[in-house]
Chains A and B, each alone.
Chain A
């Protein structure tokens, strides 16, 4: 199944707009990338895809490269000094490193660098020079990332205050290219509680205007006037990135060591290979189906699907479990792809459950009570301290203890007295990591009573009756915001517009029951005619919040598409690590 949404749009832009556009039959090309462009390319294209369009090798521009003078090179790079200098260097000597250069910049090339290219020999070897306006990573069909974890410090660390304006400009440009790529010119709103949100929103508005001058399609279409872009800071909901989630993707990334979206595990296949590495992305149809499901449902679902699959292929299924899969593979190797998929997800689910059963059963219950302020039957939490002390004294990781303490403090709404915090840190024996708790004040969160952020409150939450699992009662606050924005019920005082939007009519246009629904099942692409809600979170987005974007989209029955993104994708561990470095 081809990826849909953002990945499809960007993949299409790169494959067709860049690689295919310079393809010549019978001639192979070299593709040169820098770090950012490699990440963008890797997130939406596979080696086979680009090979099919005439690229035979991908090289990193910052590394020493052997000349391949018989082939032309495509440079897909960010317009920054390091990359431009490397490009110039490739064509400096009399023997060019490659036969010719086709240069594609991810976004606008500044004048000085452009002039530098013009002055050098490479200008004579350049056959193509374009700016593609894709400076973001399409992480999933409805999730984007700017792939810059270091910006967390730029925005929130007091020692990096002077980097802040530069960070804002860079982020604003990247978001503008997102809107440009999607042909959106949304109304920009921001969460009033934090100054950064206003500054960023303002800068984005400026950049959008600049892009619109070149791309007239931005914002065109009757529904596009309703599109909105919301800027919000991480401190707005500090609970979601810290809570233990029990949905498949969130749980796997929290509990297991998954780097660069690759899951490794031991298994027996057909041959001798023992270690398998699997990429968890949208090319894996089963992953797309399972990733937002509760873990209790996942194993059930995979086993059921495997059983159905085996029956349809007439394979004996007495014990259709992980151990017998290698036998099945030997009997029916033509189903290697499907069988491997089932094996991977059974392993992954089992790994999550093993980690959970080892330490987390009690922890999750306490966390949910703290986050919700009430227990599973709805009785308000009376003595929170009593429930957390046994957990803090137990044999769990330091980071798990910190998460409990943070949730306790957020539960207290006004913060806790400093001596209580010291006592808690002592009890839990986490002196080395205690900085994390005080550092979170840099996000605007209330930690110490009467301290730095006194008076700041977390937003009110909606009452929801739809949770079926006791340990999954919490809903990320951003979901409330998404729903309100779509219903045009989002408070204008808390979420002001940067500039007055075109009049938003909420009256439903007459919808025919018989006609006009043929497009509903088409995968969303840039040509999507309905309005979009784009959320940008400064400082990282968690998996549960990503999940909310899909849930809210589905609830609108395809009328709206909700996209969410941030400077980077968080896991609870990476969030705590980021916080540690702030001061």
Chain B
């Protein structure tokens, strides 16, 4: 990469007597007309972005909690929040973001009706809406992956604990256990601290798996809604060339309309009959 800014400074002719420093400070002043619609769109987008980031933080916290519950040898001590609370928060935030996105789309529609589809604020709103929808979907996928990994970790743990108890467990029995069937462990000798601790572990793992399933079930509808949201927008919007070209088409239509308007204006009988001194000419 070649930096040529210095070269430009050497070459440029100071035709209007402004130094670069002065012009920098000039441009720092208020821009001609702050576009409130545009600012509104960007602020709204930023809010949603922060909420999505918050969901991501919740997911990281959930990963920690999940890890600790499996890897502690003693019962988990008081953590800030447990997995159910975090899961409920993720669901609540996800649903709220979805709502905000719908509102954002409505806002875009209203702006479009008012300012036309090629207006930059409208196009910015469309792009932000699309990218944020994708971001929400990604973060929900990430939540699903986190829960699924935890489920696998629990299964592995159960298998190990069962071996400690002296009983091999098959895949089918594992599945049954995950669906809440009581496991027949009591046919083995149950003496000793190790066995006792293993049984406690097994019970809490089973409990966790059941809670996990419940969490995933309750969020199913949110997954579905987010999937529909993304599907309706299509994949092409991510493609930069497509976004730019779509804008082109619309602008082209606009210029055609302008041309038509000026032709019909030329044919305005008032313009043809009178000279430029009549007041109605300049409407």
Chain A interface residues (CB < 8 Å from chain B) = 13, 17, 28, 30, 33, 38-39, 41-42, 45-48, 50-51, 56-60, 63-66, 68-70, 95-96, 99-100, 108-109, 114-115, 117-119, 121, 123-126, 128-133, 214, 260, 262, 269-273, 276-279, 329-330, 333-334, 336-337
Determine the chain B residues whose CB is within 8 A of the CB of A30 once the complex forms.
120
Set A57, A270, A277: member contacting B228, Cβ < 8 A: A270
Do B5 and A126 touch across chains, with their CB atoms under 8 A apart? Answer: yes
Set A38, A99, A278: member contacting B240, Cβ < 8 A: A38
Within 8 A of A (CB), among B227-241: 227-228, 230-232, 234-241
Q: How far is the CA of A374 from the CA of B141 in the complex (A)?
A: 54
5 closest A-B pairs (Cβ-Cβ)?
A118-B11, A333-B227, A42-B241, A123-B12, A42-B240
B69 sits at the interface (CB 8 A): no
Q: How far is the CA of A70 from the CA of B244 in the complex (A)?
A: 21
Set B8, B31, B120, B248: member contacting A118, Cβ < 8 A: B8
Nearest residue in A to B230 (C-beta to C-beta)? A336
Q: How far is the CA of A403 from the CA of B20 in the complex (A)?
A: 63
The answer to whether residues A47 and B130 also contact, given A271-B231, A277-B234 and a CB cut-off of 8 A, is: yes
Nearest residue in B to A337 (C-beta to C-beta)? B141
Set A48, A60, A124: member contacting B20, Cβ < 8 A: A124
Do B8 and A126 touch across chains, with their CB atoms under 8 A apart? Answer: yes
Nearest residue in A to B46 (C-beta to C-beta)? A26
Do B7 and A114 touch across chains, with their CB atoms under 8 A apart? Answer: yes
B20-32: contact bitstring with A at CB < 8 Å (1 yes, 0 no)? 1001000100011
- 16 A-B pairs within 8 Å (CB atoms) are namely A17-B1, A47-B238, A47-B239, A57-B124, A64-B251, A65-B120, A66-B119, A125-B27, A214-B2, A262-B239, A276-B235, A279-B238, A333-B223, A334-B227, A336-B230, A337-B141
Q: How far is the CA of A133 from the CA of B42 in the complex (A)?
A: 33
Do B8 and A95 touch across chains, with their CB atoms under 8 A apart? Answer: no
Set A59, A99, A329: member contacting B227, Cβ < 8 A: A329
Chain B interface residues (CB < 8 Å from chain A) = 1-5, 7-8, 11-13, 15-16, 18, 20, 23, 27, 31-35, 38-39, 42, 118-120, 123-124, 127-128, 130-131, 134-135, 137, 140-141, 144, 220, 223-224, 226-228, 230-232, 234-244, 247-248, 251, 255
Q: How far is the CA of A63 from the CA of B35 in the complex (A)?
A: 21
Set B4, B32, B131: member contacting A129, Cβ < 8 A: B4
Determine the chain B residues whose CB is within 8 A of the CB of A33 once the complex forms.
244
Do A130 and B4 touch across chains, with their CB atoms under 8 A apart? Answer: yes
Do A63 and B248 touch across chains, with their CB atoms under 8 A apart? Answer: yes
Beyond the given pairs A42-B239, A48-B131, A64-B251, 16 more chain A to chain B contacts, judged by CB atoms under 8 angstroms and listed by A's residue number, are A58-B240, A59-B120, A60-B244, A66-B118, A66-B120, A96-B27, A114-B8, A117-B8, A118-B8, A119-B15, A124-B20, A131-B1, A214-B2, A269-B231, A278-B235, A279-B235
Nearest residue in B to A41 (C-beta to C-beta)? B240
Determine the chain A residues whose CB is within 8 A of the CB of B8 once the complex forms.
114, 117-118, 123, 126, 129
Determine the chain A residues whose CB is within 8 A of the CB of B38 once the complex forms.
68, 70
Do B243 and A58 touch across chains, with their CB atoms under 8 A apart? Answer: yes
Q: How far is the CA of A125 from the CA of B223 in the complex (A)?
A: 47
Interface majority SS on A: helix, strand, loop or mixed?
mixed
Do A60 and B12 touch across chains, with their CB atoms under 8 A apart? Answer: no
Do B238 and A46 touch across chains, with their CB atoms under 8 A apart? Answer: yes
Measured CB to CB, the closest approach of chain A to B149, in angstroms, equals 13
Q: How far is the CA of A108 from the CA of B18 in the complex (A)?
A: 28
Determine the chain B residues whose CB is within 8 A of the CB of A99 once the complex forms.
27, 31
Do A273 and B231 touch across chains, with their CB atoms under 8 A apart? Answer: yes
Do A133 and B128 touch across chains, with their CB atoms under 8 A apart? Answer: no
Measured CB to CB, the closest approach of chain B to A498, in angstroms, equals 25
Nearest residue in B to A115 (C-beta to C-beta)? B11
Q: How far is the CA of A114 from the CA of B106 in the complex (A)?
A: 45
The answer to whether residues A100 and B232 also contact, given A47-B239, A114-B4, A119-B13 and a CB cut-off of 8 A, is: no
Q: How far is the CA of A548 from the CA of B241 in the complex (A)?
A: 28
Determine the chain B residues whose CB is within 8 A of the CB of A121 once the complex forms.
15-16
Do A125 and B224 touch across chains, with their CB atoms under 8 A apart? Answer: no
Do A124 and B18 touch across chains, with their CB atoms under 8 A apart? Answer: yes
Most chain B CB inside 10 Å of its own CB: which residue of A39, A95, A333:
A333
Do B11 and A279 touch across chains, with their CB atoms under 8 A apart? Answer: no
Do B11 and A133 touch across chains, with their CB atoms under 8 A apart? Answer: no
Nearest residue in B to A39 (C-beta to C-beta)? B241
Q: How far is the CA of A56 from the CA of B46 in the complex (A)?
A: 12
Determine the chain B residues whose CB is within 8 A of the CB of A115 once the complex forms.
11
Do A277 and B236 touch across chains, with their CB atoms under 8 A apart? Answer: yes
